[in-house]
Amino acid sequence: MMVTIRIAGLVLGLALLGGCVSQSTRMTKSLAADHSTVPPGKALIVFMRPSRYGGAIQSTVYDVGQPADTFLGIVSGKTKLAYAAEPGKHLFMVVGENADFLDAQLEPGKTYYVLVSPRMGMWKARFSLLPIHNQATAKYSLKSSEFAEWQHETEWVDKTAAAEQWYQENRQNVASKRQDYLAKWNARSAADKAELSLHGEDGV
């Protein structure tokens, strides 16, 4: 019986992780004509999710700060969103079934890119934040043909009041996930963290 339940759960999980892409009704297609302009004194960071994998599951992104986190929005399959951040050190977080993190050192006037990458979880998609570096030899590179495809295949979205209301209703659950998974992040080696970091020179 337990095996049957596990198999059923796996089948459901695979179905949810398939090619179907569901965009959040709490986000709206951006009406901004130009997303290339960085606001004065700020850095721009773009979270993009070009993959259809796990398309039925939403991922939410945050700027982890003190004393409170900043909810940036929901990144569905085939969408991207931009966040104008203060220059300096940041810790960003994505939440799905799990929570994952990315360190960033941002310089003013530059734009940075992060890949929101889904993978198989126990019941639904888990997500990772992967830095897109400004070196041709990087695994994920701004200079690659893949990056050009990701830019073309994703559409800009903006956060709505409904998204902010969702966060207010769920912020305790988000905070709990942050606490659980941040401990695991902090236990990772310095080498692992360095690989999963955006550096000042990664901006363009």
Question: What is 39-55 written as a DSSP string?
Answer: PTT-EEEEEEE---TTT
Q: Model-level pTM greater than 0.95?
A: no
**Domains defined along the chain, listed by start:** 2-202 (2.60.40.2890)
Using pLDDT thresholds of 50, 70 and 90, give the confidence band for residue 98. confident
Q: Which helix (H) or strand (E) holds 195?
A: helix 190-195
Question: In the numeric block, which tokens belong to residue 144?
Answer: 């690659």
Is the pLDDT at 5 greater than 70? The verdict is no
Task: Measure the CA–CA gap between 204 and 197, rounded to whole angstroms.
Answer: 16
- Name the token pair of 120: 């198989």
Quote the pLDDT of residue 65.
82
Average pLDDT value over all residues in the chain: 84
The two three-digit tokens of residue 76, written as one number: 């569905």
Task: Give dist(CA 152, CA 97) in Å, integer.
Answer: 28
Query: What is the pLDDT, as a whole number, of residue 140?
Result: 93
* pLDDT 10s digits, 132-186: 999 999 999 999 999 999 999 999 999 999 999 999 999 999 999 999 999 999 9
Q: What is the mean pLDDT of residues 97-107?
A: 93
Q: Quick: pLDDT tens for 37-70.
A: 899 999 999 999 997 665 567 899 999 986 778 9
- What pLDDT is attached to residue 169? 94
- Among 30, 25, 18, CA closest to 154: 30
Tell me the pLDDT tens digit for each residue of 8-35.
333 333 334 444 556 677 888 887 767 8
Which residues touch 61 (CB under 8 Å, ≥6 apart)?
47, 72, 73, 74, 75, 81, 92, 93, 94, 95, 116, 129
Nearest to 52 by CA among 28, 26, 76, 80: 76
Whether 43 and 88 have beta carbons less than 8 Å apart is answered as no
Neighbours of 126 (CB within 10 A): 20
